[in-house]
Structure 1
Amino acid sequence: MQASIIISTYNSPLWLEKVLWGYSIQTINDFEIIIADDGSTEETKLMLKKISSETSLLITHVWHKDDGFQKTKILNKAVLVSKSDYCIFTDGDCIPRNDFVEAHLKFRRKNSFLSGGHFPLSKMLSKIISKKNILNQSCFDLKWLKDHGLETKFKNIKLTKSKSVAELMNLVTTTKPTWNGGNASAWKQDIFAINGFDERMQYGGEDREFGERLINLGLKPVRVRYFAICIHLEHDRGYVNEKAWKINDEIRKSTRNEKRIKTPSGLNLHS
């Protein structure tokens, strides 16, 4: 097994199902999927059972009781049950292009982690995309997207099908390679070396802090922004709160100032 795909989710079975159809047609299929479920209702469990019977995907459902935004905690639990030595992290609202896994495996290197991004869609487009559009990959086709309401912007070049253009854009982009929870990957030994995600943190920079500790460990962030492509389905964000942001900011300042590698509240809490 070449990779463990860890997908975070919370009460979004319709979006998650679309994401899983994307993984059912990857050019490389030697991977497992671990659903890091932050307390969804039975509806998500039933959808996973259904799609498991309709695809050849190897899916493990890791769930804990709903206790507010606890993404860092469920991600750590998912890492602990993963069977591969390489982990690709994404979210249950990010549909992967059919070469998404291949791109992460192609560019992985020792002493580094991969930093990707996502292509945001409107709520209207997010709803329109169907299983058929995912299986035939039309949802990644700019003409199809524009025919269904996508605005013409320079950022649309991210969906280019040209390898040479993708290589050029990846070189010239000024976007800093950081750990982005919807599209990033790392070796499991490095995740264990920094003690996983900091469970003191809720929403707001928790992914970036994880990446900052990987850099403190000595890893080089490698940009795959124009190689590992996924489209982001729009949704409401009821989990945002100012108190969590302030706590997270203080933790991130401490991580940077102290060059801290290990969090005191990570994988060790589950051993």
Structure 2
Amino acid sequence: MKKRSSSLIISTYNWPEALGLVLESLKNQTVLPDEVLIADDGSTAETKNLITKISEDIKIPIHHIWHEDVGFTKATILNKAIARAQGEYIVQVDGDCIMHPNFVKDHLMFSSENCYLYGSRVNIQKAHLDTLFKDQQIQFGPFSEGIKKRTRAIYSPFLGQFYKANHQFSKKFRGCNTSYFKSDFVAINGYNEDFKGWGREDSELALRFHNNGLKSRRLRYRGIVYHIFHIEKSKSRLELNNDIELRTINEKLSWTENGIDKYLKVL
């Protein structure tokens, strides 16, 4: 595995119980990133206090990047966090996704020039939440209670080797489990901050990666996360967000005007 400086980006909003489990799974990583940046879309002080407490037990820098709560502005807070990242390589996960112990290791192992990665997401079911939080569970396998999409929980380096990089965008891509070079992210001006509310900010980013010449590789049977059930966010702006994505597809856009550059200029 080639040594690259790396930054783990964790997005969160007002769910410290879930974020706590994600950070516990960070402690369990076989390979740690060089730093962690928590992209906080306006959580209350409870999240800040949790991060302060857990930071004392983790031997790498943890930076809390916060802005005021003005609604769902995930694209904006991710841009702000990634602008601050010192790592050459960005590994990205959501604050409700518990990481497999080899999550960071897998993303770094398969990182390669002109390519971004995306991994699998196993769903933790609603009925298991009480047990999950009571037991502070961070270890799962394909036969664990309380999960669905069990084949996604199979960890197999042998099977994973058969998935190769290609130029096709996959609808299986999820921003809660992806990685890329920061330079590739900056080259397309990062997330499009015209996205407000839930939906399409991640897939539109990946589409612009492809429009700028990148390949993608699926980390099947590697790079696994376990997504904690929650009530879906409001989809009131989904139609507007769909229109933004369709423009990117139809015009083959790689650059967004409303992106990360505004934060890079002030660093």
Same fold (TM over 0.5): yes
What does residue 207 of structure 2 align with?
212
Counterpart CA distance in 2 for 1:158 and 1:24 is 22
CA contact (8 A) 1:3 1:85 kept: yes
What does residue 192 of structure 1 align with?
186
What does residue 261 of structure 1 align with?
254
Q: Choose which of 60, 66, 72 in structure 2 pairs with 1:69.
A: 72
- Post-superposition Cα deviations, 1:94-115, rounded to whole Å, max 9, x if no partner, equal 0001100000001111001002
Change in CA separation of 1:150 and 1:105 when aligned onto 2, cut-off 3 Å: closer
What does residue 142 of structure 1 align with?
142
CA contact (8 A) 1:86 1:188 kept: yes
Identity over aligned residues, as a percent? 37
1:102-251 correspondence runs (5 A): 102-130=105-133, 133-134=137-138, 137=139, 140-143=140-143, 145-146=144-145, 149-150=146-147, 155-167=149-161, 170=163, 176=170, 179-202=173-196, 203-237=198-232, 239-242=233-236, 244-251=237-244
After the TM superposition, list the runs of 4 or more consecutive aligned residues in structure 1 that deviate by more than 3 angstroms: 130-133, 165-168
CA contact (8 A) 1:18 1:95 kept: yes
Shift of residue 160, structure 1, vs aligned partner:
1.8
Structure 2's unaligned 5+ residue stretches are none
SS of equivalent to 2:31: coil
Aligned letter for 2:97? Answer: C
Counterpart CA distance in 1 for 2:20 and 2:175 is 19
What does residue 43 of structure 1 align with?
46
CA contact (8 A) 1:24 1:57 kept: no
Shift of residue 157, structure 1, vs aligned partner:
1.9
Deviates most, 52-61 or 81-90:
52-61
Deviates most, 245-254 or 33-42:
245-254
Shift of residue 176, structure 1, vs aligned partner:
2.6
Counterpart CA distance in 2 for 1:177 and 1:229 is 17
TM-score by length of 1: 0.88
CA contact (8 A) 2:79 2:260 kept: yes
Larger proportion of helix: 1
TM-score by length of 2: 0.89
Q: Choose which of 95, 99, 104 in structure 2 pairs with 1:96.
A: 99
Counterpart CA distance in 2 for 1:263 and 1:92 is 26
Shift of residue 56, structure 1, vs aligned partner:
2.1
CA contact (8 A) 1:113 1:187 kept: yes
Shift of residue 31, structure 1, vs aligned partner:
2.2
Structure 1's unaligned 5+ residue stretches are none
Counterpart CA distance in 2 for 1:126 and 1:57 is 29
Counterpart CA distance in 2 for 1:199 and 1:226 is 32
- Post-superposition Cα deviations, 1:9-48, rounded to whole Å, max 9, x if no partner, equal 0000000000001011211124211000000000000000
Shift of residue 89, structure 1, vs aligned partner:
1.1
Change in CA separation of 1:192 and 1:58 when aligned onto 2, cut-off 3 Å: same
Shift of residue 158, structure 1, vs aligned partner:
1.8
Change in CA separation of 1:257 and 1:12 when aligned onto 2, cut-off 3 Å: same
Q: Choose which of 25, 33, 55 in structure 2 pairs with 1:22.
A: 25
SS of equivalent to 1:142: coil
Alpha-carbon RMSD across the aligned residues, in angstroms, is: 2.0
